[in-house]
Chain A
Amino acid sequence: MNNRLAILWSLLILVFAGQLHAAPARVLVMDQDGQPVPDAAVMIWPDAGTAPAPKQASIAQQDYEFSPATSIVSVGSNVAFPNRDTSRHHIYSFSPAKQFEIKLYVGLPESPIRFDKPGVVTLGCNIHDWMYGVLYVTDAPVYGLTDQRGAVALEVPPDRTYRLEIWHPRLPEAHRIAAAAGETQHQIALRLDPPVPRPAKPADPENSLIEFVRDRD
């Protein structure tokens, strides 16, 4: 639902940008193997521009997953973590950008969390080890997440140079590009860390056990 909203929102931005004679910058993010990298944060800092205003966001825990699994918000945004499961969750993050814990709550926590530092925040649940969420907190005026094809289109002012940054949890450092004015096509290859195996979500999280220990080969 939020996804759709985001897409709709993006489309609206695109429509407006077009009307403002803004050209969309198309960014295609691949990994070192040439595979598209979805859910990467792509951010643009035009040489003059301001960060958008903070806004409300929500990352729900539904079906023992974060929903959406990856989100991006502007610095200073408040994010609500509504629990839509019957089980309690214990949401936490030890990321440098934001460390917090919402212990054993049901329904909507008492207050949303405000993310006031840019960075990648990984979200986990102490009760359900497989749950994994990513929240990019950015001060970029323009930003977006790559889709399944690793692509994202962002509105940039046509006559401005800009800085482009890409974030990803498996990218040790942010990938930065300085782009010329009017440069609208970016195909970016990232060198990603290999994914760390993590507990998979059980088929039926309320009845089956998760598997941690991989027996030796």
Chain B
Amino acid sequence: MIDSLRSRITASLLALLVVVGGLILILVLVAMRGSIIDQATARIEIGRNVVQGELNDQVRQLQRAATVLAHDFGFKQAVATRDEATVRTALINQGGRIGADLVAAMDPDEEVNLAIGPDVGEEAGFPFPEMTAEADRIGSNVATRVYAGHAYQIVVLPVLAPERVGWTLLGFRIDGTVLSDLAGLAGTDLSLIDVAGEGPTTLATTVPQPAVASALSGQLRENETDIRVLKVAGSEYLAQQSSVSGDPGASLRLLMQEPLTQALEPYRRLRLEVFAIIVVACLLAAGVGVFVARGVSEPIDRLVQAAGRIGRGEYFRKLSSRGVKEVRTLAGSFNAMQEAIAEREARILHQAHHDNLTDLANRVVAVDTIREQLAADPPEPFAVILIDLNRFKQINDTLGHSIGDQLLISLAGRLTNAAREGDLVARLGGDEFMVILGSGDREQAELVAQRIGDALRRKISVQDIQLSVEVSLGIALAPEHGTDPETLMRRADIAMYGAKSDRQPFAVYEAGQDERHLHQLSLINDLREAIGDGGLTLNYQPKIQLSGVGHLGVEALVRWTHPEHGFVSPGEFIPLAEQAGMISDLTNWVIEETCRQLAQWDQAGIEVHAAVNISAMDLADGALGDRVCQTLEEQDLAFGRLCIEVTESAIMADPARATEVLSGLRERGVRVSIDDFGTGQSSLAQLKRLPVDELKIDRSFVQNVAEDAEDRVIVESTVALAHRMGLEVVAEGIETQAGRDLLTELGCDRGQGYLISRPLTADQLGEWIREQSLETA
């Protein structure tokens, strides 16, 4: 609580006031008390001087009276003649004259030895015989002494007649009355204290309680003459003790006391008043503090609560703009802040769950939805439909991302329309979409997939460009095909790939596909290793001259013998290599191995030209040309010794790119051949622009050319056309002698096929060449 601003402000104000007030109080009180004590001290000082002066006067008077007595002729005579009766009456007479309270006389032989006075007991002699010696020495002896419990001022004189014949003594009693008179002169209370015995005894005092005087004297040291503040029975006194008549050896003390308690009365009243003022001021300050603090702390409390609400995610309560300007500003800022936070949080939340571009649900939501639907109780069958756009990358590359994005947005719209109520449409990324059916069996899923495919395949206009999109859809059924989102999505993906490769509008996952897929994945892995560690081999199929003279050519064909699965057909692993992005590694290996073999044959005296196949994906590799040439140079081979075979469909996938890559090769002297010609739907116009040296007529036209008139027409016109364009023509797949003869007749430059030779290992090829030369010879 002391931490709160309010209590701090209040406490600070209070502390300040208490400190200041306390200081003032202390200063005033100390000064006032000091002044009061100073005044009392001054009174005591003056009083003491007055009293001592008065006592001195009395002594002087006493001394004079005593002198008169001592020199009275009759008295002297009486003492000298030891006339005690006369001495007694003379003493009474003279003592009475001066008002003495004690008279005495004595001769050295103590024949006369008497004392007279109210305090004198029976048989008492000269009271202070020890005083006579001093009286003899200096002529008189004056002292203040205690006699019979009373203080006396005493004078002892020698009696000279004219020789000293005895002594006389006169004394004044200082009793309460005397003391009262003195106190009246001094203006302070007086006491006569005897300090001789155990503790001080008050002989006479003007104080109503003699015990107070004794107690005060008891607190003062015997010979101390300082003025001190003392406390007796709860009351304060200012007190001073001094010896009487300047006789410090005597046990009598004159105590002067000022009752401070009384003197300090105004001081106490003032103290009470100042204290009251401070208390009132503190109360006022507390009030003001609470008022001020509330003005500050209450809005802050509200802000604190608001901040707490914001922290808990409640953004909808506005702060009122009450209070002072700063607080209003702060409240405004708080409101703006919480709106901004609310908006931002909504946006972030939306972004976390939605695709930025299409505003469809994203992969996270898709996975969550699948998981939720799988967990539904009771379980309900549903389906996951994966949609992939074919060749979307091509559209993006050729038409630009802007159009690509708009296309995706339009497609997303169509997808949403095609989906049913309760289905979730999501974009998983790139050109991949997914529709998760809220429920439905295989039949319903296929229906929806059909509808989606139809909707997406309709022509679409983006920025005045008419586009048609090919899509592949894969369906996985839950829970039949998987009980977790990952499996379902993977199997939908597999089904989608199946549809794509089978050129079907959609496909439903079939049991086992997943395992095949996994098998392919493992093959891909093994292939990667095979490329690296020589698990692949090359076979060479001769490509001989059918008509005219020319060199011997071979087509290098890659073979893979898998350590477990045995022979794997290129038709299986080459698409896998393409899929896995390893095709350029494979192509490179083939080219390097071919060149190495060519060089080896060269050394064996066999001059062979070789052709290697490259994939459509190799054409995207800008460095292909350089690498081919570098490999040839390394093996010291003329560039013309190598022919690059590209399928017509690979070229047609991206004719511009293919033209560029192939031109580069051809310009440097590497031969270029179009493989599988006649299946790729190339136009003559395109063919004209293509930088090629050779056409390889597809085996489908060659195999039955001898029997099929149409094939023959096609081959004949192709050869004629090619020759017109300055291209050589190769026929592949020659299997019969009749076919070979016809092709030769039709003007095919070279031929290749089982009739001539199946693909051979490098060693077998050497053997084959030797056999051929023997035959020819």
Q: Tell me the A residues contacting B by CB distance below 8 Å.
A: 92, 94-95, 99, 122-126, 129, 131-132, 169, 193-194, 196-198, 212-217
Smallest Cβ-Cβ distance to A198: which chain B residue:
B160
Per-residue 0/1 for B69-111: is the Cβ within 8 Å of any A Cβ (1 yes, 0 no)?
0010100110011000000000000000000000000000000
Closest CB in chain B relative to A122 CB, distance in Å: 4
Other than A124-B160, A212-B64, give 11 A-B pairs with Cβ distance below 8 A: A94-B161, A122-B162, A124-B162, A129-B71, A196-B160, A198-B160, A213-B140, A214-B63, A214-B138, A214-B140, A216-B56
| With known contacts A131-B162, A216-B142, A94–B60 Cβ distance under 8 A | no
Closest CB in chain A relative to B65 CB, distance in Å: 10
Q: B290 within 8 Å of A by Cβ? A: no
- Considering the chains assembled together, what is the distance between the CA atoms of A107 and B80 in angstroms? 28
Smallest Cβ-Cβ distance to A90: which chain B residue:
B73
Q: B165 within 8 Å of A by Cβ? A: yes
Smallest Cβ-Cβ distance to B66: which chain A residue:
A213
Q: A-B pairs with the 5 shortest C-beta distances?
A: A94-B80, A124-B162, A197-B139, A122-B163, A196-B164
- Considering the chains assembled together, what is the distance between the CA atoms of A20 and B513 in angstroms? 192
| B73→A216 contact, CB < 8 A | no
Smallest Cβ-Cβ distance to B65: which chain A residue:
A213
Q: B245 within 8 Å of A by Cβ? A: yes
Give the tally of cross-chain contacts (CB within 8 A).
67
| A126→B73 contact, CB < 8 A | yes
| A169→B163 contact, CB < 8 A | yes
Q: B246 within 8 Å of A by Cβ? A: yes
Complex contacts, B162 vs chain A, CB 8 Å: 122-125, 129, 131-132, 198
Complex contacts, A125 vs chain B, CB 8 Å: 162
| A212→B71 contact, CB < 8 A | yes
Complex contacts, A169 vs chain B, CB 8 Å: 163
Closest CB in chain B relative to A55 CB, distance in Å: 25
Closest CB in chain A relative to B130 CB, distance in Å: 15
Smallest Cβ-Cβ distance to A122: which chain B residue:
B163
Closest CB in chain B relative to A171 CB, distance in Å: 12
Q: B59 within 8 Å of A by Cβ? A: yes
Complex contacts, B63 vs chain A, CB 8 Å: 213-216
- 12 examples of A-B residue contacts, CB within 8 angstroms: A92-B77, A94-B80, A99-B81, A122-B161, A169-B163, A196-B158, A198-B162, A213-B60, A213-B140, A214-B63, A216-B60, A216-B245
- Considering the chains assembled together, what is the distance between the CA atoms of A123 and B138 in angstroms? 22
Q: Tell me the B residues contacting A by CB distance below 8 Å.
A: 56, 59-60, 63-64, 67, 71, 73, 76-77, 80-81, 136-140, 142, 158, 160-165, 245-246
| A94→B73 contact, CB < 8 A | no
* Chain A contact residues, majority secondary structure: loop
Contact of B137 among A123, A131, A194 (CB under 8 A): A194
- Considering the chains assembled together, what is the distance between the CA atoms of A126 and B56 in angstroms? 30
| A213→B136 contact, CB < 8 A | no
| B67→A213 contact, CB < 8 A | yes
- Considering the chains assembled together, what is the distance between the CA atoms of A196 and B166 in angstroms? 11
| With known contacts A124-B162, A129-B71, A216-B60, A194–B136 Cβ distance under 8 A | yes
Complex contacts, B161 vs chain A, CB 8 Å: 92, 94, 122, 124
Complex contacts, B139 vs chain A, CB 8 Å: 196-198, 214
| B76→A196 contact, CB < 8 A | no
| B64→A129 contact, CB < 8 A | no
Complex contacts, A215 vs chain B, CB 8 Å: 60, 63
| A216→B136 contact, CB < 8 A | no
Closest CB in chain B relative to A111 CB, distance in Å: 22
Closest CB in chain A relative to B110 CB, distance in Å: 14
Smallest Cβ-Cβ distance to B163: which chain A residue:
A122
Closest CB in chain B relative to A56 CB, distance in Å: 24
Smallest Cβ-Cβ distance to B60: which chain A residue:
A215
Complex contacts, B164 vs chain A, CB 8 Å: 196
Complex contacts, A95 vs chain B, CB 8 Å: 163
| A94→B81 contact, CB < 8 A | yes
| A196→B60 contact, CB < 8 A | no
- Considering the chains assembled together, what is the distance between the CA atoms of A124 and B71 in angstroms? 11
Smallest Cβ-Cβ distance to A120: which chain B residue:
B163
- Considering the chains assembled together, what is the distance between the CA atoms of A217 and B141 in angstroms? 11
Smallest Cβ-Cβ distance to A95: which chain B residue:
B163
- Considering the chains assembled together, what is the distance between the CA atoms of A94 and B76 in angstroms? 9
| B67→A216 contact, CB < 8 A | no
